[in-house]
Every structure is written in C-alpha cells, then in structure tokens.
C-alpha cells in the first residue's frame, strides 16, 4: 500500500506547482518534500515528474498516481463525513428472540423497513442461551429474553410482557383442570414446554395445578417447529403451554380452547444489549418499534 503521506505531498506538489509552496502548505521542509516524492517514485517503480532546473513536468505515470491520490483523499473525506451522519433510519441491526416473539414482531419490523428501505433488520429465532451468547460476542445487537440476565457483560431492561396460555383441544374445553384430566389429554412437548409449564403452574393461582409434577404428565407428541406445535392440539392429540402470540398466529385457532386460569400468567420480557457498547441511532428506532408492538399487543388483550 502506498504511503498516504507521500500521496498527499505529491498531490499538493502538483496542485501548487512548486516545491517551496508545497513545503509551506504542508509545514514541511523543501528537502522533506523531495524525499517524499523520491520514495513515492521508488514505490511506484516509475518517475512521476520530470525535473527541469527549478520547474517540473508531470509524467503520464504521475498523472495516474495523481488521480489515485485525489480519489483516496475524496474517499477519506466521505468516510469521515459518514461518521457524523448517524442516520436513525439507515443501516443494519441484528435482533434475536424466541419463535413466538418473532411471529409477533416481524410484521411490524417489516412495515418499518417498507417505510425506511435503508433500515434493515436481521431477525433470528434462537433459544435463550444462544441469544445471550450472540449479544456477548457482538453477533446480535438486540436480544429479547424472558429472564433478566445476571451476566456482567450485558445490560438488560424490561421492555414488555408475554402472556402464557394453557391450550387444549376445543373438545376438552373446561373451567377446571386436575392432574387426572391433564394426564388423560397428554402433553405436546416442545423445546420450551418444561419452562412454560413450570412457570404457568406456579403463577396461575390454582393450588391443584401448582402441585403437579411435570414428569407425571404423559407426552403424546413432540415438535420443535413453533408454527406446528398447535397442530396436534387442534386435532385432539394433547395440550401444551405457549405464549398467546403463538395462538394468534395459528390458522386453525377456532379448534383450540384456552384454559381460563384464575390468574393470568405473565412472563416479563427483557431487552439485552452488550454493556458499554455504543449503539447507533437506528437502535432507538428499532427499540421503539419493539416496545410499541409489545405494549399494543398487551393493551389489546
């Protein structure tokens, strides 16, 4: 790579047409200017100027190098200007969250991108530990998790709530539930089933459900594709617990019954970012959309 200082000296020399004026403009000595030109010629392998006593003429190779020097200077100026233009509606931002959240959030993020085409959101569905790891290593700008991380490398703030629902086949709709009833229906397992079941049973304000050992529930099916977890429930093959947003996105929801627990079970959502990382202005744009979407969804319930 050609030394930028030599290129600047050469371009200034061509612009001024004089070694002394170049030295004055760049706060150099005249021998220093000559040394830069000599080193640049050696690096290029061609004479860049033809000297005639106190004057000179630029060579064809020199014209090429001069244009290159001007382009480098222009690119540098553009780069420096771009650093001062932190556009809140331009650039890329990576967001990672659960599948149910992705179903709820993606349409709104897509609407935002349609409004601001230069604002590109990369949305990745991932389990909790992968979300945390992504934020820590910098692959993810924003992570959405259902628990507040204690890892000192991240910052987490509450951004919204996620209602959980125990979903039954429509034919099994009931006002009360017992262990025997759930055992008769069977559980449709999925990657977050144990976590959601434990949370739901402990917070639904029903003593009979709170004492249930999850291991006592027979598993009548298992699937790890969020969009298909409710298919066996709709066909009467079992029950499961999922965020309400999963039901809203399900096409056959009329065949699903939501158990009316005595107390609505809410799982708090946290927004994670890497501690001490200075995020661009577009972060606030995406954060506002995420927060507004979650709040609007909860108001509609």
Q: SS3 string of the chain?
A: CCCHHHHHHHHHHHHHCCHHHHHHHCCCCHHHHHHHHHHHHHHHCCCCEEEECCEEEECHHHHHHHHHHHHHHHHHHHHHHHHCCCCCCCEEEEEEECHHHHHHHHHHHHHHHHHCCCEEEEEEECCHHHHHHHHHHCCCCEEEECCCCCCCCEEEEEEEEEEEEEEEEHHHCCCCCCHHHHHHHCEEECCCHHHHHHHHHHHCCCHHHHCCCHHHCCEEEECCCHHHCHHHHHCCCCEEEEEHHHHHCCCCHHHEEECCCCCCEEEEEEEEEECCCCCCHHHHHHHHHHHHHHHHHHHCC
pLDDT for res 298: 54
Q: For residue 101, what pLDDT is reported?
A: 85
pLDDT (tens digit, 0 to 9) for every residue of the chain, 301 residues total?
Answer: 789 999 999 999 999 999 999 999 999 999 999 999 999 999 999 999 999 887 899 999 999 999 999 999 988 887 876 665 688 999 899 999 988 788 889 999 999 999 999 999 999 988 888 999 999 999 999 999 988 889 999 999 999 888 999 999 999 999 999 999 999 999 999 988 898 999 999 999 999 999 999 999 999 999 988 889 999 999 999 999 999 888 988 889 999 999 999 999 998 999 999 998 888 899 999 999 999 988 765 555 5
Q: What is the pLDDT of residue 85?
A: 64
Decide: pTM greater than 0.85.
Answer: no
Query: What is the pLDDT at residue 297?
Result: 55
- pLDDT confidence of residue 100: 79
């Amino acid at each position: 790579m050609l030394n930028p200082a030599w290129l600047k000296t050469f371009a200034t020399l061509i612009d001024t047409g004089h070694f002394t004026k170049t030295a004055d403009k760049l706060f150099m000595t005249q021998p220093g200017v000559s040394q830069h030109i000599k080193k640049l010629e050696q690096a290029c392998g061609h004479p860049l100027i033809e000297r005639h006593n106190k004057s000179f003429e630029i060579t064809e190779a020199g014209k090429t190098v001069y244009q290159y020097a001007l382009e480098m200077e222009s690119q540098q100026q553009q780069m420096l200007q771009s650093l001062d233009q932190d556009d809140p509606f331009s650039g890329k931002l990576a967001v990672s969250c659960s599948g149910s959240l992705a179903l709820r959030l993606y349409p709104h993020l897509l609407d935002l991108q349609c409004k601001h085409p230069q604002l590109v959101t990369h949305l990745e569905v991932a389990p909790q530990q992968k979300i945390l790891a992504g934020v820590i290593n910098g692959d993810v700008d924003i992570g959405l998790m259902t628990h507040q991380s204690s890892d000192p490398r991240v910052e987490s703030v509450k951004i919204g709530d996620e209602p959980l629902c125990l979903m039954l086949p429509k034919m099994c709709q009931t006002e009360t539930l017992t262990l025997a009833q759930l055992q008769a229906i069977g559980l449709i397992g999925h990657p977050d089933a144990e976590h959601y079941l434990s949370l739901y049973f402990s917070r639904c304000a029903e003593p009979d459900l709170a004492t249930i050992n999850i291991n006592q529930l027979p598993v009548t099916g298992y699937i790890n594709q969020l969009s298909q977890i409710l298919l066996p429930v709709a066909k009467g093959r079992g029950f499961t617990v999922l965020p309400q947003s999963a039901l809203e996105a399900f096409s056959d929801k009329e065949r699903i019954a939501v158990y009316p627990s005595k107390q609505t079970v809410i799982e708090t959502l946290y927004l994670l970012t890497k501690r001490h990382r200075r995020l661009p202005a577009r972060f606030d744009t995406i954060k506002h959309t995420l927060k507004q979407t979650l709040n609007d969804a909860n108001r509609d319930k």
